[in-house]
């Protein structure tokens, strides 16, 4: 942690960051040991869903771990509900039509992709890494990156704040 503090002080001394930004980043560094999340990163379940749907074609910026996994949870729950609706209407046999599930999946493709790209940006990775999914083995590093804590400061994809706020 002292190395990060030293780098921060050097950037401030060179005039690369303002005094206000220096104080904000210093307070974040001080809070890291306590496990506190900066307020601009706190996202609840409903807010995560709203942000994902509002930014459904936004492939720039960053999204927090909570925002991503809350949306994944909502998608899984919605899939269970639509699967039940399709099963009750068309039967629970192999090859049964699933129009409600299919339409829901189509509607959630872009928000899911946009959120996954922004989540990778949060850990300072390009969204192009999503192209590893068809290789099957590529799912492991993607899952690792999606579960990692995001960068606490500005990275090459933007400031440490939830995209769309």
Counting beta carbons within 10 angstroms of the beta carbon of residue 47, is it exposed (0 to 12), middle (13 to 18) or buried (19 or more)? middle
Confidence class of residue 1 from pLDDT cuts 50, 70 and 90? very low
Task: Please calculate the CA angle 45-37-139 and round it to the nearest 5 degrees.
Answer: 65
Answer whether residue 2 shows pLDDT above 70.
Answer: no
> Do 127 and 120 touch, CB atoms closer than 8 A?
yes
- Which pLDDT value is given to residue 90? 93
Q: Please give the Cα distance from 165 to 161 (Å, whole number).
A: 8
Backbone region of residue 71 per phi and psi (left: phi > 0; alpha: psi in -120 to 50; beta: other values): alpha
Tens digits of residue pLDDT in 67-121: 999 999 999 999 999 999 999 999 989 889 999 999 999 999 999 999 999 999 9
Where exactly are the structural domains of the chain? 1-36, 43-147
Instruction: Give me the half-sphere count of Cα atoms (radius 13 Å) on the Cβ side of residue 95.
Output: 0
Give per-residue pLDDT as tens, 134-165.
998 999 999 999 999 888 788 888 887 776 65
Q: What residues does 146 pair with on adjacent strands? A: none
């Amino acid at each position: 942690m002292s190395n990060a503090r030293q780098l921060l002080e050097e950037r401030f001394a060179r005039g690369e960051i303002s005094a206000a930004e220096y104080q904000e980043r210093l307070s974040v560094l001080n809070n890291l040991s306590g496990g506190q999340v900066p307020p601009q990163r706190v996202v609840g379940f409903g807010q995560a869903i709203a942000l994902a749907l509002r930014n459904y074609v936004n492939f720039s910026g960053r999204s927090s771990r909570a925002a991503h996994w809350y949306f994944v949870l909502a998608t899984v729950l919605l899939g269970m509900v639509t699967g039940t609706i399709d099963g009750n209407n068309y039967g629970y046999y192999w090859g049964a039509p699933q129009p409600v599930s299919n339409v829901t999946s189509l509607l959630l493709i872009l928000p899911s992709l946009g959120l996954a790209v922004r989540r990778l940006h949060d850990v300072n990775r390009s969204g192009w890494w999503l192209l590893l999914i068809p290789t099957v083995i590529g799912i492991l590093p993607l899952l690792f990156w999606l579960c990692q804590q995001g960068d606490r400061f500005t990275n090459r994809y933007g400031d440490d704040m939830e995209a769309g706020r």
